[in-house]
Chains A and B, each alone.
Chain A
Amino acid sequence: MHDLDEDPRGVRRILPLLTVRSFRSETDVERMADELPDLFFDHGLSKSLVQDTATVLAEAANNVVQHAGSAVGGFAVVQQRYMQSQGLRTDYIEIAVADPGRGIAESLGREPADAEAAIIDAVKEGTTSTGDRHRGIGLHELSDLVEGSPGRLLEIHSDHGFYQTGQSIGPDSMTVANRFRGTAVTVVMVA
């Protein structure tokens, strides 16, 4: 069993849980989700944290497989990190899923210039490019998940659009100068 090294200087330390993976299919997504329980239980992390982490990983990765049109699929990583300040230690789980695909705007039939607005729409319940009214729950679920508990943050970066939300900051978006060609979804949660 590995553990995060104690560091008297109080610097941030990282423990990889799910090391960087590439995925292309829903079968690959299932394999990643299958790995999470043992990885988390081996490090003393709770069942509810496994479920929340798997929700983020699966919904973000399913979006890549179904909508990104990425020739190389996507990439995902899950890690544990702690921050220590004045003797007080806080542990976090960080999940990142990214792909170099068409981006959220194009997948919703919008212009790249509308990236910020496209992300805002994508986070709303029921927004989907599939035409199935029951689809489009993925990013909305992630938003609910981070806004429903303290110490959580969701960030989505696609083309020039950037969106973040959490219980303490609320939904916020902007158009940024640096373009991410594809979509990157990251979630941080207090462990």
Chain B
Amino acid sequence: MPNIVHTCNILSDYDSKAERGHSMRMIDFGRSFATREKAKRIAKEVPERGSLVIDFGDVVVLSPSFADEFIGRIAAASQDVTLEHLAPELEELMARTVERRGLSTQVRIAALA
């Protein structure tokens, strides 16, 4: 489970502008995300300040339980969260999760270009 060890490389200043917050690449933690336990582990690494951009590029699997736990914890840590590069089959799940949690104003899903 080396992913957490690499967290320092994953969290970086977004666009070289500290005021815009941090970015995070999920693929550095794996292609599949299936459990609440994994959501808790990854969310612990997110700094509790500023805005956050999370890149889901190349992620293949997200379970509803992971998504629920992850979104809940990320939103508690960051006031402004953007989820980007979600595959179409994952975007619907994330949108449903954000809506169920009542976090639509705090968590945005960036449309694929």
Residues in chain A within 8 A of chain B (CB atoms): 26-27, 29-30, 32-34, 36-37, 47-48, 50-52, 54-55, 57-59, 62, 134, 137-138, 141
CA distance A54 to B33 in the complex (A): 9
* B68 and A134 form a contact (CB under 8 A): yes
B62's nearest neighbour on chain A, judged by CB, is A51
User: Total contacts A to B, CB within 8 angstroms?
Assistant: 76
Overall SS of chain A's interface = helix
A41's nearest neighbour on chain B, judged by CB, is B60
* Residues of chain B lying within 8 A (CB to CB) of residue A37: 31-32, 60-61
Q: Can you list 6 A-B contacts with CB-CB less than 8 angstroms, sorted by A residue number?
A: A26-B34, A30-B37, A51-B60, A51-B61, A58-B34, A58-B65
* B35 and A30 form a contact (CB under 8 A): yes
* Residues of chain A lying within 8 A (CB to CB) of residue B65: 58-59, 62, 137-138
Cβ contact of A27, chosen from B32, B36, B37, B66, cutoff 8 A:
B37
CA distance A48 to B25 in the complex (A): 21
A35's nearest neighbour on chain B, judged by CB, is B32
Q: Is B106 an interface residue (CB 8 A)?
A: no
Q: Is B82 an interface residue (CB 8 A)?
A: no
Additional A-B contact list (15), CB under 8 Å, known A34-B30, A137-B64: A26-B34, A26-B35, A26-B36, A33-B32, A33-B34, A36-B61, A37-B32, A37-B60, A51-B62, A52-B89, A58-B61, A58-B63, A62-B36, A134-B100, A138-B65
Chain B stretch 33-59: residues in CB contact (< 8 A) with chain A: 33-38
* Residues of chain B lying within 8 A (CB to CB) of residue A62: 34-36, 63, 65
